[in-house]
Structure 1
Amino acid sequence: MDPEQREAVIAPRGPVCVLAGAGTGKTRTITHRIAYLVQRGLVAPQQVLAVTFTARAAGEMRTRLRALGAAGVQAQTFHAASFRQLRYFWPRVHDTQVWPLTDNKFRLVMQAAGKVGLPTEKESVRDLAGEIEWSKASLIGPEQYGAAAAKAGRDAPAPPEQISKVFAAYEKLKNSAQVLDFDDLLLHTAAILEEHPEVAEEFRTRYRSFVVDEYQDVNPLQQRVLDAWLGNRDDLTVVGDANQTIYSFAGAAPKWLVGFPRRFPEATVVRLERDYRSTPQVVGLANQVIGAARERPAGTRLKLVGQRPDGPRPNFAEFDDEPAEASAIARKIARLAKQGVPLSEMAILFRVNAQSEVYEKALSDAEIPYQVRGGERFFARAEVRQAMVTLRAAASRQEPSGDLPADVREALAEIGLTDEPPAGGAARERWESLIALVELAEELAAAVPEADLARYVVELDVRAESQHPPTVEGVTLASLHAAKGLEWDAVFLVGLVEGTLPIQHADTDAAVEEERRLLYVGVTRAREHLQLSWSLARAEGGRRYRRRSRFIYNLVPDDHPAALPSKVRQREFEAPAKRAAKPRCRVCNTTLAGTMDIKLGRCSDCPSDVDEGLLEQLKAWRSERARQLKVPSYVVFTDATLTAIAEQRPEDEAALVGISGIGASKLRKFGSDVLALIQGDRRS
């Protein structure tokens, strides 16, 4: 062991805080500490309770403890430990057997939503369940939800007062059925220990020493349970890394880890900064990523020091479009495999699950086996299967319009696709999958201009078939959240563009910093080979309007082509036929990046010169056309497109089609009407 690990292991009983950076051997350190306390006779193995956050991590801890001669130690998740205690103490307190865990929480939330009059579709119910879980984990009751959600900046899936009603109805239904959910396991455990001194005394006689792994991820409810376990004692060891706090959306907070020395002034605090996982080159990049954070409390300022031999420098790569990015990564994986890197030791990591499709296709085309971790393959997702059924039906009844992407959008509008994304949660994930299908249509239309819906559906079937290889050992595809706690020899961090990392709805400084920590987690998953990449367009040959992530700018070495000035980099990376002018603000001439800015043709903070009268006429016309066509209004034109028209007041078809959101199909269907309204407005 290194000196810092040894200090943590042999620290005396009492409060110990181990600030352990990525790859510094924290699991080895805490299991050796437990074994040391047991072997020195300072505590019996049956008196130690070690808790962590996943069954996999708890199982690994038990395996290591058995090998170290401490087999009697209880190593469990918070929920498993609480459920075990409830089964023992509940009958004594309530004179009944403990209520069972509900096997259909989704149904109860759906019934509660129905009582309140909210939608009961799967995604809506999942988002409501997520808000209930966050509330209970944050020790917030139904009546406090609205104020607490506003203070936390929650992207609520419904008006807060309605969510409060759903929450209250859900609790009533659950209690009437005499069942518990997972959060109840912790709530009832804490309540029993707090309200029944004789139970607390018996429990604290049984368990005398506590260890908490991943302490940066505790939420208020878990901390309440831990406090109830401890009572007024201080035999507690916590281990964590505030730089890896990536679950704030679920209520996790690093404040208890960072504030541990203030709560226990006599605590032993040990910092583990020697990284045994990654090469110095990867470690150096990780330090750069997290070192750029705007605010880092004192307890988070760990600086990793690589202990392995030197390896290759992390690579940065910019591509014209996502298919090119995916194909290049598939080729790089094939080369590494020939050099002896096992496929199972390589991973492609992305911010959102909808990004996986293009990489699934590239790996399938290259005949490289893969597995998707923490999610389903793209074409196995429920919303994608539903979309394909809808598209087949549309292909059988619609006349080709000549605008395939517009036809796909119109068909998917029937199952809820909107022009603007939902705020977050399951509805956002569903939207991202559906919009990925629209982007596939744009890609096909660019390659085969005459393609119609029928041809597109055939293309989807071919892709779906090719992307269902047998389950074998292969390259891992995973989101950055799903990759936490894992590591590989080679890691490819992909899709690093503004709007994806940081995600578009990260609209506060705190949210952006959590996105930075996600990138840090991704970088620290790599042992030796690391590549960070981004593409300037989604579809092959598409408009190159994307910007690489703000987190990347200061990481690219000065001698790398991606660090060159934009004009030079254009010549370096682009073939003349593929060069395309980036959209610029018509007011200040700044390059536009955000979707809404591009639609409007100006920066969001530049002054608007919208013709309010014309805008009202356009909206009234749109409503009437939507009624005639029996489609939602946004299928005709979105509010953003109408605003852009009312601002720019195009004089002819060429100017009209230059507005984002107006393609050949919409020009043919609606162009003459819109131009007539504009000309009439000018005459008036």
Structure 2
Amino acid sequence: MHFTDEQLAIIAHPAGHARIVAVAGSGKTSTLTAYLARRLNEGANPRRLLVLMYNKAAQQDVSRRLASEQPQQTLPEVRTFHSLGYRILQRLVHDGDLPPVHWDLLNDAQIEPVVWRLLRAAAVDEEQAEDILSRKKKWVEPALNYFELVKSSLASPAEVFEQSGLPKVCRIFIDVFAQFEQWRADQRRLTFADLLYDPVRCLIAKPDVAQRFAGHMDEILVDEYQDINPIQQALLDILHGGRGQVMVVGDPDQTIYEFRGSQPSLLTEAFQQQFADPQDYQLSWTFRYGHQLSLLANHLIQAGADRTAASTLCFSHASTANTRVRQIRSDDSAQAALDCIRHWQGERPLTDIAVLNRLWANSARLELKLLAANLPYRLESHRTVLERFELSPFWVLLDLASGEFSCYNEEQRRQAWRTLLTQPYLKIRKAVVDDLLSRLAGVAHDTARHLRNALPENLTSFQADQLLERARLIQRAEEGRVNASELVSGWMIGTDYLNALRDNAFSAQQVDDQVATVTAFVDFIAAQRWPAAEAGDQLRALQAQRRASGQNGVTLTSIHKAKGREWPCVLIPELNARFYPYHPEGDLSRPASEDSERRLLYVALTRARDEAILLTPLTRQDTPDSPFLKEMNWDGCRTLAEALAQSHSEVSLPASMNSQVVERYLKAQQSALQIHWQAPQAEDPSTEPQRRLRHPKFGAGRLLDDDGTRLSIRFVRDGQVRQFDRAQAWPMLEWLDD
């Protein structure tokens, strides 16, 4: 293998601490494997070499490569942080420093009921207790996310809460965390996070015990260092113990796990404070994608607030083939994606294609179109679109229409009735709902009449009216003489389902996911024109068809799950101001960082090898372009990439391009290309950056117009533009760009 000068410098690293910044596709794993092979060939003791990888897949990859290159050698330990924590925890328990535990880890199904019970007990009043009782998911999910955040940190639970951005109503999480930890201690149980949390807390509390684990390694190598959190950093510090050398590898531009506690400053700032005088290296040459994508990615990431003129850029290596980057404008992103997939299908296997979504909300419509087109796909989510919780009422209605409901067993009917009575949620007390369920679970026929007869007298008039409306819709389903579209849209309209989802979800991201899924499903059903009595069977046939196709299809995944991977063809849908940057607002949500959102798009772009397509809005009045699109300087990057590919001697570029990025890129390429900078054009007011803000009622938005007396603001939550009296509204606004 031919290594670059940057790679050779790392492979030959003589001694001392080292920090490597490696861009996407830079041959990092090959370089690290070659470095380790060199150290072993020089006689380094493999038992005093420790390699820490971020996840199991990376750990297995490095282990496999080392074994291939050094088949006769004793190899160093290659572990994930959690597997190392597990081993240390076993030792601490064996030595009596921690009490015995059950080694089978708690799963979500075991944890959630305990947390739900503790939340109800911690409620500040009866209203909150009833809300927790009736809306388990709304409360349990953010509580568990908070627990994970605490266990990634060295700060106290109270400090973590203050830094989390969670609203005051969630303050009960602090006490619930303490109670959960007490329950866990009493039961001697562990979660996955505790494989690090428990041993590290023990070692910090008992310095004499920590000394037993310190300083045994001559070298520690840590991959994906930008993603580690304070608890992992503390373990690294303990293991180092002031002895030996530490080499870390990461890319601050790919830090996208801050919501899990990752801190990019551990790589960019804290490393040299903890490990003195490190040697800095770069892997800036990418072997994955060509000039245009490198230039677009560099312009995008260089617009971040934390970037400097010396920050690492990615440069396409001479051996790297051209990557075609296109922007397709369409107001139907799913149809545009389907058209792209069909085009690619004629040229390459579907497994070459990945659709990278900012939210799962972005994938629902495309997934349904792929089902209808009989195109196989691989979904990297827990549920396919047809299995989503928010579609449950529609399945029950369609089974009522077909007669399938009468074949349910009693427990299935109980669950079906729970769905019909609580989706959407009517704030009926759980005890009342449970009583209704016990009376209706045995009903298999004439369900609407039985529901009307079972209504208790202690309902509010609103609740009674809503349940009577549901009985009417159930009766229409039972009669079976409507088409499926009338039935599902009737439920959506009659129950005000979409607004109910907005009111009842725990975060705006969940709202966006659920509303997008429901509207995509309703539109899909309308397009099929199935009779209601046949629709359930048709949908099940589509599900069976997908299962039969196996995993040999298009990959539908999130950008977070795509990190560390690559595909020949990448689609990025819904690249607009609503989703890039995405600023979720909701009663139990955490605020988002614009720099983090920019890094997320950077990660998505740099997954592509041969072709990347960005799906952007056609009609930009209702759905504006993402501000990140302008930061990329699309036309200039394309022009410069073409000039480099065709070995031009000169090129004219727009003054809006980042001249430092251009100059550094040309210098790295050893290009003599002469640049003529075009005169700056007068800024079109319609393209000026729109200031981001937060309104106390409507949440995050962008200022579209300020004429001195009136403000025009488009809000992220519902996409609506609202007008405000400037004098009244201005003091209430929080400016997010300041």
TM-score (norm 1): 0.74
Which residue of structure 2 aligns with residue 382 of structure 1? 389
Once the two structures are TM-superposed, the CA of residue 332 in structure 1 deviates from its matched residue by 2.3
Instruction: Determine whether 1:466 maps to 2:542.
Output: yes
Tell me the secondary structure at the aligned position of residue 478 of structure 1: strand
- Find the aligned partners of 1:230 and 1:464 in 2 and give their Cα distance: 56
Instruction: Determine whether 1:271 maps to 2:282.
Output: yes
- Find the aligned partners of 2:7 and 2:289 in 1 and give their Cα distance: 18
| Counterpart AA for 1:112 | L
Conserved? CA contact 1:16–1:237, under 8 Å? yes
Instruction: Determine whether 1:288 maps to 2:290.
Output: no
Q: 1:89 to 1:175 in 2, by over 3 A?
A: closer
Instruction: Determine whether 1:549 maps to 2:626.
Output: yes
Q: Equivalent residues in 2 for 1:529-608 (5 A)?
A: 529-535=611-617, 545-555=622-632, 556-557=634-635, 593-594=714-715, 599=720, 601-602=722-723, 606=726
| Counterpart AA for 2:144 | A
Which residue of structure 2 aligns with residue 437 of structure 1? 518
Tell me the secondary structure at the aligned position of residue 238 of structure 1: strand
Cα deviation, 1:82-108, whole Å, max 9, x if unaligned, reads 101211232213375444333422233
Conserved? CA contact 1:490–1:529, under 8 Å? yes
Which residue among 399, 408, 411 is the counterpart of 2:492?
Answer: 408
| Counterpart AA for 1:549 | S
Once the two structures are TM-superposed, the CA of residue 188 in structure 1 deviates from its matched residue by 2.8
Instruction: Determine whether 1:517 maps to 2:599.
Output: yes
Which residue of structure 2 aligns with residue 247 of structure 1? 257
| Counterpart AA for 1:73 | P
Which residue of structure 2 aligns with residue 210 of structure 1? 220
Q: 1:308 to 1:282 in 2, by over 3 A?
A: farther
Conserved? CA contact 2:379–2:557, under 8 Å? yes
**Unaligned stretches of 5+ in structure 1?**
538-542, 570-582, 610-684
Once the two structures are TM-superposed, the CA of residue 534 in structure 1 deviates from its matched residue by 2.6
Once the two structures are TM-superposed, the CA of residue 597 in structure 1 deviates from its matched residue by 8.2
Once the two structures are TM-superposed, the CA of residue 390 in structure 1 deviates from its matched residue by 6.8
Structure 1 vs Structure 2: percent identity of aligned residues?
26
- Find the aligned partners of 2:300 and 2:234 in 1 and give their Cα distance: 33
Instruction: Determine whether 1:22 maps to 2:24.
Output: yes
Once the two structures are TM-superposed, the CA of residue 463 in structure 1 deviates from its matched residue by 5.3
| Counterpart AA for 1:332 | C
- Find the aligned partners of 2:624 and 2:499 in 1 and give their Cα distance: 31
- Find the aligned partners of 2:476 and 2:605 in 1 and give their Cα distance: 47
Which residue of structure 2 aligns with residue 166 of structure 1? 176
Which residue of structure 2 aligns with residue 102 of structure 1? 106
Conserved? CA contact 2:290–2:321, under 8 Å? yes
- Find the aligned partners of 2:375 and 2:206 in 1 and give their Cα distance: 59
Q: 1:203 to 1:433 in 2, by over 3 A?
A: same
- Find the aligned partners of 1:202 and 1:586 in 2 and give their Cα distance: 65
Which residue of structure 1 aligns with residue 668 of structure 2? none
Once the two structures are TM-superposed, the CA of residue 182 in structure 1 deviates from its matched residue by 2.6
Conserved? CA contact 1:278–1:308, under 8 Å? no
Which residue of structure 2 aligns with residue 478 of structure 1? 557
- Find the aligned partners of 1:413 and 1:299 in 2 and give their Cα distance: 52
Q: Equivalent residues in 2 for 1:291-310 (5 A)?
A: 291-296=302-307, 300-310=311-321
Tell me the secondary structure at the aligned position of residue 379 of structure 2: strand
Tell me the secondary structure at the aligned position of residue 630 of structure 2: coil
Which residue of structure 1 aligns with residue 272 of structure 2? 261
Conserved? CA contact 1:502–1:516, under 8 Å? yes
- Find the aligned partners of 2:300 and 2:20 in 1 and give their Cα distance: 22
Q: 1:288 to 1:88 in 2, by over 3 A?
A: same
- Find the aligned partners of 2:502 and 2:686 in 1 and give their Cα distance: 38
Which residue of structure 2 aligns with residue 112 of structure 1? 118
| Counterpart AA for 1:48 | L
Once the two structures are TM-superposed, the CA of residue 37 in structure 1 deviates from its matched residue by 1.6
TM-score (norm 2): 0.69
Once the two structures are TM-superposed, the CA of residue 59 in structure 1 deviates from its matched residue by 1.0
| Counterpart AA for 1:115 | A
Which residue among 609, 615, 621 is the counterpart of 1:527?
Answer: 609
Moved more, 193-202 or 255-264: 193-202
Instruction: Determine whether 1:357 maps to 2:359.
Output: no
| Counterpart AA for 2:47 | Q
Tell me the secondary structure at the aligned position of residue 182 of structure 1: coil
Which residue of structure 2 aligns with residue 331 of structure 1? 339
Q: Equivalent residues in 2 for 1:226-245 (5 A)?
A: 226-245=236-255
Once the two structures are TM-superposed, the CA of residue 331 in structure 1 deviates from its matched residue by 2.7
Tell me the secondary structure at the aligned position of residue 137 of structure 1: coil
Q: How well do the aligned residues superpose, as a CA RMSD in angstroms?
A: 3.9
- Find the aligned partners of 1:568 and 1:262 in 2 and give their Cα distance: 46
Tell me the secondary structure at the aligned position of residue 593 of structure 2: helix
Once the two structures are TM-superposed, the CA of residue 550 in structure 1 deviates from its matched residue by 1.2
Q: Equivalent residues in 2 for 1:5-154 (5 A)?
A: 5-42=7-44, 44-69=45-70, 71-94=74-97, 97-100=100-103, 101-103=105-107, 104-117=110-123, 118=129, 119=132, 121-149=136-164, 154=165
- Find the aligned partners of 1:457 and 1:301 in 2 and give their Cα distance: 60
- Find the aligned partners of 2:498 and 2:629 in 1 and give their Cα distance: 39
Cα deviation, 1:590-640, whole Å, max 9, x if unaligned, reads 9864356865642x674669xxxxxxxxxxxxxxxxxxxxxxxxxxxxxxx
- Find the aligned partners of 2:538 and 2:725 in 1 and give their Cα distance: 45
Once the two structures are TM-superposed, the CA of residue 359 in structure 1 deviates from its matched residue by 1.3
Tell me the secondary structure at the aligned position of residue 11 of structure 1: coil
- Find the aligned partners of 2:596 and 2:686 in 1 and give their Cα distance: 33
Q: Equivalent residues in 2 for 1:603-642 (5 A)?
A: 606=726
**Unaligned stretches of 5+ in structure 2?**
124-128, 401-419, 421-469, 639-655, 657-682, 688-702, 730-738
- Find the aligned partners of 2:179 and 2:161 in 1 and give their Cα distance: 16
Q: 1:312 to 1:597 in 2, by over 3 A?
A: closer
Cα deviation, 1:58-116, whole Å, max 9, x if unaligned, reads 11111112112255321121111110121123221337544433342223322322321
Conserved? CA contact 1:140–1:148, under 8 Å? no
Q: 1:409 to 1:272 in 2, by over 3 A?
A: farther
Conserved? CA contact 2:291–2:323, under 8 Å? no
Say how many residue pairs are matched: 570
- Find the aligned partners of 1:327 and 1:403 in 2 and give their Cα distance: 25
